[in-house]
Structure 1
Amino acid sequence: MTTATNPDSQRLEFGRRIRRLRREKGWTLAELCARSGLAISTISKAERGIIALTYDRLALLAAGLETDMSAFFSDTGEIFEPGSLAVARKGEFERQETSNYVYEMLFPEVWHKSMQPMMGTLKAHELHQFEDFVRHPGQEFLTVLEGAVTVHLEGREPVRLNVGDSIYFDSAVGHLYASDSDSDARILVVCDSIPRPGEKSR
């Protein structure tokens, strides 16, 4: 499991995986655009390692490619079966860094999980640093491990969370997390209902 911290090399490797998955399907960028709902320019930039994708775009891309999100981080994996057990030791994760978030994707070697657990660091301190709200199918849980976090929910008053506080909400509602202190915040997030092969997003 790779835990390299160089964002440039991470984006390049991530892009190579996306391109390989698309080409294995025999699809053009335009075809993947139609299947995923992501702009051709977004997919192209991701494939070339120019940009990193946020969680909602990762979910759309996985659904469009009819694959598990873990395929973006690991070439092979084991499908989680009834009675299975997986352990992630400290520092075992796959990293995805955007301008505002550092995602630490836990259990990337376990495919077709019904939940996606992530540790993360919030680098953003102001809402205007975000282009738009994030939204995706399913439900979401967040708890604050370090610092303070403001959760912005579209159409609702912001919710401020301190260490030990948690929130649970419908991920289809536009949402953003922002660090609400002088230092970056640390969080644990769990999302459910990740689109899986053959499933349509709700």
Structure 2
Amino acid sequence: MSQDETESIVRQRIRGLRIARGWTLDTLAARCHLSPSTLSRIETGRQRMVLEQLVAIAKALGTSLDQLVEPEGDEDVVIRPEPESIGGATFWLLSRERDRRGVTIGKMRLTENHDSPAPQVHPGYEWFTVLSGAIRLTLGTRTVLVLPGQAVEFSTMTPHLLEAYRGPAEVLTIFDHDGEQAHLPGHRHQ
């Protein structure tokens, strides 16, 4: 990313944060001890930014200089999942490890498994939606067929087992911490 592109992003951040707070140019200028015309020229790119100004602007906006000038890239937003095989399932982690929401989001591909494991029980809730194929969900004494586009949510204190039905199936799933520990053994989160 060029210096001009970085400066453009910083200018957009300054203006965006100012507007999000409902502040006029005069309000922010007074808070960072700049003239409104200087601040306007900084926001529009008609004046080069200097470090002292950026420090004062960041402080006035309630952010850090690092956050204000952080370069844009895709590494902070794009997750490149690597497949991990666990038993008869392949799992792609779609959330950052130890996600700030306390959940693990993933895509799971199940193939028909003739050595069906036993249903599991653990604290918490699970949610999944079928992307392709069909899933046979054993939930206590019930068996539920879940088709593409359908979603289920259930208490994991009920014995449960997900199996591919008549061919491979893919699901998008959300595990809480207990579900992650139960279904992804050996998968370590920090």
TM-score by length of 1: 0.45
Higher relative contact order structure (alpha carbons within 8 Å, sequence separation ≥ 6): 1
TM-score by length of 2: 0.48
